[in-house]
Amino acid sequence: MANGNATFRHSNVALLGLTETLAPNEVTSQEFDERLADTLSSLNLPQGLLQRVAGVYARRNWDEPHQFADGAITAGKKALAEAGVPPDAIGLMVNTSVTREHLEPSVAVGVHAGIGLGPQAMNFDIANACLGFVNGMTLAANMIDAGQIEYALIVAGEDASRVQEATLRRLNRPDITREEYLNEFASLTLGSGAAAAVLGPADKHPEGHRILGGITRAATQHHELCVGDHNGMFTDTKGLLSGGMELVVAAWEEAHETGWDWREMDRYVMHQVSDVHTNSITKAANLDPDRIPVSYPELGNVGPASLPITLSREAENLKPGDRILCMGVGSGLNTAMTEIEW
């Protein structure tokens, strides 16, 4: 099979700032168990499945669902301050959120205005399920390498509260079946939050973290395995795990066939889903679990914001020269892996 553009390398791009906005309200999995007690009893299912099976003990929510955009604005301002890049230097701002209030205009325009970016900054949304943030970084990096822009800001703000509430109402129906319950189980792992990253030219920022490149790979024959909207997320859990593992392993092997060597990275920062997914990837690629930071136990799956939030939290433990592999997977299915030299 021709490789095409599946593998890519960046020549002069650095990560200059990376921040998160923590949604203020913790919602524990125990609270969900209490609200679903009658359903769990009638279906002969035990309490604590989210904790034992998924490893998700809590997630966060905003005070109001629409505040996901405010979270992205706050994260964006913090990332610019951390990077030392003024708003009028940004040439591109990409919003990568799954969450949106309406079909148009884009979420990006409100975030652009809220941050106070100038008219020189083109702005738009990239929607690719949980892979959007990684895709946004790759697009921005390519534009920096091409000389079209100098600095880029990537954001994602997510709200899961509406999906959670709709799912809980449905799971509490008196006629709910065990199969229906399990098909919506993944919805209860979702959480809310926001993240932002600033990218710029590496030659002007020796203090930055070099984004070296990576690989993408698609398996879109699986596009019906996980479908969601504000009313819920409906998942073929077994099919999604099987198809996802096949896709990730294929990308991993192809990357090594085309010159990458990711067997001894200092950190593997994955999209945050659950114990099952993390353990499966760890086993399939023979990774050291001690090198895999996780945030899903306390934050759940925050969609495309999950991976940058996790990397942001791990940053204080990293030292210059550490090699980081970001490993994202999005419903559809798509995957991307990107190496960063700290």
Q: Which residues pair with 325 in a beta bridge?
A: 268, 339
d(CA 253, CA 18): 29
Q: 338: closest CA among 14, 3, 1?
A: 14
> Which of 20, 26, 104, 254 is an active site residue?
104
Q: 157: closest CA among 21, 312, 311, 326?
A: 21
| Residue 130 falls in the annotated catalytic set | yes
d(CA 23, CA 156): 13
Q: Which residues pair with 92 in a beta bridge?
A: 122, 152
d(CA 63, CA 304): 20
Contact of 62 with 25, CB cutoff 8 Å? yes
Contact of 72 with 156, CB cutoff 8 Å? yes
d(CA 222, CA 42): 32
Joined together, the tokens standing for residue 186 give 């993944």
Q: At what angle do helices 237-257 and 275-284 cross, to 10 degrees?
A: 30
**Radius of gyration for the chain, computed over Cα atoms and rounded to the nearest angstrom:** 20
User: What does the pLDDT look like over 139-164, one tens digit per residue?
Assistant: 999 999 999 999 999 999 999 999 99
Residue 81, φ and ψ in degrees, nearest 5: -65, -40
d(CA 227, CA 224): 6
Predicted TM-score (pTM) of the model is 0.95
Q: pLDDT digit of tens for each residue in the chain (342 aa)?
A: 445 568 899 999 999 999 999 999 999 999 999 999 999 999 999 999 999 999 999 999 999 999 999 999 999 999 999 999 999 999 999 999 999 999 999 999 999 999 999 999 999 999 999 999 999 999 999 999 999 999 999 999 999 999 999 999 999 999 999 999 988 888 999 999 999 999 999 999 999 999 999 999 999 999 988 888 877 778 887 888 888 889 999 999 999 999 999 999 999 999 999 999 999 999 989 999 999 999 999 999 999 999 999 999 999 999 999 999 999 888 989 999 999 999
Residue 202, φ and ψ in degrees, nearest 5: -65, -35
3-state secondary structure the chain: CCCCCCEEECCCEEEEEEEEECCCEEEEHHHHHHHCHHHHHHCCCCCCHHHHHHCCCEEEECCCHHHHHHHHHHHHHHHHHHHCCCHHHEEEEEECCCCCCCCCCCHHHHHHHHHCCCCCCEEEECCECECHHHHHHHHHHHHHHCCCCCEEEEEEEECCHHHHHHHHHHHCCCCCCHHHHHHCHHHHHECCEEEEEEEEEHHHCCCCEEEEEEEEEECHHHCCCEEEECCEEEECHHHHHHHHHHHHHHHHHHHHHCCCCCCCCCEEEECCCCHHHHHHHHHHCCCCHHHCCCCHHHHCECHHHHHHHHHHHHHHHCCCCCEEEEEEEECCCEEEEEEEEC
d(CA 208, CA 212): 12
> Which of 20, 34, 130, 165 is an active site residue?
130
Joined together, the tokens standing for residue 255 give 């990357």
